[in-house]
Amino acid sequence: MDREIVKLLSEAGGVAIFPHVSADGDAIGSSLALAMALKKAGKDVVVYVEENIPAVYRFLPGTELTRFYDSSDEAMDINLALDTGDVGRLGTRGEAFFKAPCTVNIDHHVTNTKFALLNYVDETSASTGEIVYILLKKLKLHIDTDMATCLYTAVATDTGGFKYSNTTAETHRIASELVSAGIDIGELSQRIFDNTTYPKLRLTQKAIELLEFYENNRLAVVTFSRADLLATGASDEDCDGIVNIGRSVEGVEVSLLVKEKNAEEVRVNLRSKTYVDVSEVAAAFGGGGHKRAAGCTVNGTLQQVREQLIEAVKDRL
């Protein structure tokens, strides 16, 4: 951990935390844990979110510290981006982020562009939650049950429940410490992972029905039109994890979820099992992410984008 960042944070009077747009469990969990710890240390703290917190994470402690940015808000001493690979992932908060006298960027994405004044990027870390855990230790701040709940959520979600290849001995060591802080793993895991909504159940059924396989069954593709989403009553949030259905099938190396956002834009989620670097594929389409999990938003019709992505993946299989 960067000593200067630790020193600045311990001396700061006010800190604003910026998780990335479409915040996931890692972005939200690590932001809430850091916010609660800094607040308990007597600092002014706010977490500026781009959207409402997804329903699945609304049970987490610390959400009262989150709000939308208002242009009349006074700048804090430090604006700190968490789990945010580049300025684009700050969404509409990009300008606000650079208003503070000091900007900090703490992340684990290998594609991080180091856009802040001080940057700490550890791409060997499975989650930003693990980096925040170490940061809190360096800041000598006690990790209470609420903070541990948020950090465990961050770690568990970004490792796919300790299943992805990014999971390390350190990941489990930190998870062990967090469990010791008094969290209820059974209840927490159910809230994070076992909360399938009825629309999601229908969407899952539809996804299996629509699954297509290419390249000797090494590539799995699910294509959702707006009509499919409407028919199942599913929200965008319900689509989380659908891409893993294809990935979980025997012999599949790459799984794609190609989803119509509107008539001109298509969102693509990419997952791989063992050797294809899907962050490279996503980057070629203006997106980013990790080797085994990436995403991009592409201009074009659903069928055009689907064909383009299939071609791009084929070359790497």
Interface with a copy of itself (CB under 8 A): 156, 161-173, 175-177, 179-180, 184-187, 189-190, 193-198, 201-202, 204-205, 208-209, 211, 247-250, 273-274, 292
Measured from the CB of residue 229, what is the shortest distance to a copy of itself in angstroms? 17
Bridge partners, 17 (sequence order): 47, 80
Measured from the CB of residue 40, what is the shortest distance to a copy of itself in angstroms? 23
Run of H or E including 268: strand 265-272
Measured from the CB of residue 28, what is the shortest distance to a copy of itself in angstroms? 19
- Pairing of β 118-121 and β 66-67: unpaired
Measured from the CB of residue 246, what is the shortest distance to a copy of itself in angstroms? 9
For residues 214 and 307, give the distance between their C-alpha atoms in angstroms, rounded to a whole number.
Answer: 12
**Contact present, 235 and 199 (Cβ < 8 Å):** yes
Nearer to a copy of itself, 189 or 308 (CB): 189
Q: If we measure between CA atoms, which residue out of 4, 11, 16 comes closest to residue 76?
A: 16
For residues 123 and 108, give the distance between their C-alpha atoms in angstroms, rounded to a whole number.
Answer: 4
For residues 14 and 43, give the distance between their C-alpha atoms in angstroms, rounded to a whole number.
Answer: 5
DSSP SS3 for 123: coil
Measured from the CB of residue 25, what is the shortest distance to a copy of itself in angstroms? 14
Nearer to a copy of itself, 168 or 297 (CB): 168
**Contact present, 107 and 81 (Cβ < 8 Å):** yes
Nearer to a copy of itself, 68 or 162 (CB): 162
Nearer to a copy of itself, 128 or 167 (CB): 167
